[in-house]
Chains A and B, each alone.
Chain A
Amino acid sequence: MHARVSAVAIVGLMALGLTACAAPDDENRDQTLTVLAASSLTDVLTEIAQDFEASHPHIDVQLSFAGSSTLAQQVLEGAPADVIATANEATMRLVADELDIEPHVFATNVLTIVVPEGNPAGIAEVSDLTDASTRLVICAPQVPCGAATARVAEAAGVDLAPVSEEANVTDVLGKVASGEADAGIVYVTDIGRAEGVEAIALAQAEAGINLYPIAALPGSGGAQDVTADAFVAAVLSDAAEATLADAGFGIP
């Protein structure tokens, strides 16, 4: 008897806890807007969101950053989100086709060679990366930065032989910043967020240009949709363009 009562109590408590977490903020004056965005947008989107909150005091913007495909997976699995911004168009297309939404490209990014401070291996151009003694780290071709790297390498007519193919830019950057790797290929906008690294311009960078689309997701209520659209509009605004440009992004 006791066993049953405690079991019911515990299950009940857990259910309560779960619904408490999942319950949306119904109060109009205190609305939460959940934005899922690619990791490479962390700094710049945080800034844009702060500006948005300042001009929309009743809205609390919750930002969640992860790799683009993780974000797409979260949205398609039904994560409660209002806006998604990815670091490539292919991933966004998966979401857009499934949910019938309209993405807008708001920023572009290009690749650069990154080397440890002082450039110990003396890298000057992309052909230096193919030197057998150069420990090169790039993104794996399966991820957006790796696909872009492959396009750049093709444009430059070089065969890259990396010692490691990482699943994201942060791991490439980490291995260069720690000095384990002699060189890496990352986005221009990543240079600013790492210490102990230098950028070497990539002549063929345009071949690997990446487009960042953003889209409002179909929400549960009308008010939420309006807010999501307002946030997307804010990201596409002139003020946000300036912030993006400051962070090294290109404006389409």
Chain B
Amino acid sequence: MTLPRRLLPLAALGALLVAVPLLALASRVEWGSFWPLVTSEAALAALGLSLRTAVVAAAMCLVLGVPLGAALHRARFRGASLARAVVLAPLVLPPVVGGLALVYAFGRRGLLGGTLEAFGMQIAFTTSAVVIAQTFVALPFMVLAVETALSARSGRHEAIAATLGASPWLVFRRVTLPALLPALGTGVVLAFARALGEFGATLTFAGSLEGVTRTAPLQIYLARESDPEAAVALGVVLVVVAVGIVAATFRRVRPVAS
């Protein structure tokens, strides 16, 4: 396709809308104190916690998102599209609404909170709450990746494998899953990036304590109050990580998409 020239100005405007604020952020960094700021005890604790929890959340998205995406792809029952919409809702929910929903589900007085407490499990204010919040917002990315990839397949190979006597589990494991690998890579990386940036649900549901629940986005939010320079520096680190992740993912997406 040749790009119609009249689209160019709008495309440029769109690119500027995103790029200019990011450049403006970078322009406010006090480069002289950048390194001490991003390696302060609080910053390192927050970054470390963010990376650890985001890795666990991405893994949970893989374990839960692949079966869920496959199930939604096969779903033929009435209300299947509603089920899909519910699963994808965290994509468009304001994060703080997600946080409230999590509190009302897993909180002490929540739907499941009493049961969990009876088993001696307290979730709010723990690192587990951070992982749950991150998984909640990141799972749709994995589900979408799996569903889209499955929809792009004809199902012919699966059908052939089935006629040769393979069980559905064997077909899924040996035929479908290997073909899905590039999509799974994309899904996991996007889920990881989304988990890394998670803010509102964590703040509402998990709280904010250094080393336990205060992830990098929460540290930025707090630093903004007393030390804007530190907030900007840590913000730039997150931008670099996010852009790096998306850049790496995109390289992987391209051959599949074309």
Contacts and interface: CB of A to CB of B under 8 A. Distances in A.
Specify whether A and B are partners: yes
Nearest to B203: A171
Interface stretch (B138-146, B161-169, B219-227): B219-227
A179 B109 CA distance: 7
A137 B208 CA distance: 9
Contact of A165 (B5, B6, B9, B208): B208
A10 interface: yes
A165 B107 contact: no
B179 to A, nearest CB: 42
B207 A3 contact: no
B13 interface: yes
A204 B209 CA distance: 25
Contacts of A167: 203, 208, 218, 221-222, 225
* Residue in A7, A11, A166, A178 whose Cβ sees the most chain B Cβ within 10 Å: A178
B61 to A, nearest CB: 25
A179 B9 contact: no
Interface in A157-179: 162-167, 171, 174-175, 178-179
A220 B2 CA distance: 51
Contacts of A73: 224, 228
A164 B207 contact: yes
Interface string B1-19: 0000110111001000000
Contacts, number: 83
B132 interface: no
Contacts of A180: 103, 107-109, 124-125
A41 B36 CA distance: 37
B98 to A, nearest CB: 15
Contacts of A140: 208, 222, 225
Contact of B225 (A3, A6, A143): A143
A142 B208 contact: no
Nearest to B9: A7
B109 A178 contact: yes
Given A164-B213, A178-B107, A179-B107, A142 B228 contact: no
Nearest to A120: B108
Interface of B: 5-6, 8-10, 13, 103, 107-109, 124-125, 203-204, 206-210, 213-214, 218, 221-228
19 contacts: A2-B6, A3-B9, A4-B9, A7-B9, A10-B9, A10-B10, A11-B9, A67-B225, A140-B208, A140-B225, A164-B207, A164-B208, A165-B208, A165-B214, A167-B208, A167-B218, A171-B204, A178-B103, A179-B107
